[in-house]
Structure 1
Amino acid sequence: MLFKTHLAFAIFLLIPLLNFFSPANPVIFILIFLTAALLPDIDHPKSKLGRFVKPIGFLFEHRGFFHSGFALLLFTYLAYQYLSVTSAIAVFIGYASHIMADTFSHQGIMPLHPLSKFRIKGFMNTGGFLEVILLFALILADVYLIIKF
């Protein structure tokens, strides 16, 4: 999936979570959530985050470790250990949203990487027609949720 689709999907999940959790500092919660939602693509040298930390894109295969359940748990644990429970929740759901969205693409994800090469694949081409339709639907839903919020 593309950056903008991941962002739209993350916002779609974020708005109801703000109502549910009512974090003490919603701006920090939003920033942590959205950063976590984009973090798995840090292993892609051309991604928005990957351009800032180029060595990661060369050391790790795209949709490998950073798209696994192990990375999800690692970053959640780090947020819990060094930030707060609320931050850990934001990291977990934001990061998981990215991994879940990538299961819809043909490339899929390897949830148990590096222990297994088992891959969950979907039916959409990254940047293809179906993703554009999904993006449009997510943007409409996001606007609705923001207005309703």
Structure 2
Amino acid sequence: MCLSAVLLLLTCVCAGKVSARQKAFVPDPITGYAIGGHDPVSFFVDGYPRKGQRKHQYKWGGAEWIFVNEGNKAAFERDPEAYAPLFAGCGGYALSEGFATAGNPFIYAVVDGRLVFFHSVVNRFLFVVNKSHLLKAASENAGNVGCVPLN
């Protein structure tokens, strides 16, 4: 890469024109679906993540989502922001510290009625015990690092 291209890229980053990650739910590289092919409604209905089925698909937030059944799919279609993880699936605690990490659908908490993923169980614990302060910090940092979904 030539020096002028590197300088241009550096200028864009410093000016805030390039985000740390794409502003969308990034599809899982293996399944091709948002949140690893897990049904986001199942976290609320069943209390744990369940794999969706391809026959129940819906596109939202720049990604394909799959669901356990038509009822869960219909609930998500009516109000996707109620069921989709906050921060486009980024880890909530890391985001409160100002940087983006991929959240793990198996390490999660429902915080103030919203699904939040974390990078580790330690991060989940630290976030939950100080949720009001850290949720506010994570929300303030989300746009800066690109952890907001496309609508």
TM-score normalized with structure 2 length: 0.30
Higher strand share: 2
Structure with the larger helix share:
1
* TM-score (normalised: structure 1): 0.30
Larger radius of gyration: 2
